[in-house]
Structure 1
Amino acid sequence: MPTDLHPVVKERANLLIQQAAKKGIVVVITDGFRSAEEQDSLYEQGRTTEGAVVTHAKGGESYHNYGLAIDFALKTPSGDVVWDREYDRNGNSKSDWTEVVQMAKKLGFEWGGDWAKFKDYPHLEMNFGLTIADLQNGERPDSSLVAGPNPGEQ
């Protein structure tokens, strides 16, 4: 099992932060690699522990567990971290959240907000064509994958 973000995911997350900054948007990566134990704990939220349900994935059932997903939020000038999808820090009359998602997609991420069921708006993933079942069966992204050129560079 991986113990950190896949190098391509890590590099693209850093590119996302840099590209957003050029547009006056401060992106914060709130979560990246998660162990199966951390995933199980998160799964219990809203079920056996307090809080709202935030995931339907148990340990080993999330792309986070394989280093292939990140979650993000936005930072305000006062330093608050927000998940406000209407927030417009750069004042260009476009939601910063929407701008970040568009940049992320150009970098090769899939967005949890596009899911038909249980939309996960902070979630971005790169599955490299692998399903959770593939990953559970020991398959991993091709180790020859390297970050390469900067797709979506603006």
Structure 2
Amino acid sequence: MMADHAHLRRLQRLEKLRGIARHNALAEAGRAETRLASLEMLQARTNALITGYAARTDAQCGADLARQRIYLGELQGMVGRNDSDVARARDQADARAAEAAAAERSRAAVETRANATAQAIARARSAAALPLGARNTRKP
């Protein structure tokens, strides 16, 4: 019986540790999602700039037009780099979400084992409280 109590305490400590790991994994997943959202917002803003500059027709001379094209080329280069950053951030966010899900499954498994052990202890206590084989000493 004492071994069962010690086992239950170990499982409860393990559940707390797994809960902390789950919390950390969720925080990491949140940070990864935030980074992904910022990069996607930057991507949308850069694409809007490109669209706006590509539609401009206010060049006064060839030099203005050349500067505009150079600027557009730099923006397009930024979009290419940002696309790879977004893809990398999406992969990281997916990986962090998978880690968070695994941490939750691990914590839930330990919680299930701890609950089963607690129920086994409760059953053993209630069984020990019943006098088995006790005879009724009164005669009818």
TM-score with structure 1 length normalisation? 0.24
Instruction: Tell me which of the two structures has the higher relative contact order, counting C-alpha pairs closer than 8 angstroms and 6 or more residues apart.
Output: 2
More strand by proportion, 1 or 2?
1
**Bigger Rg, structure 1 or 2:** 2
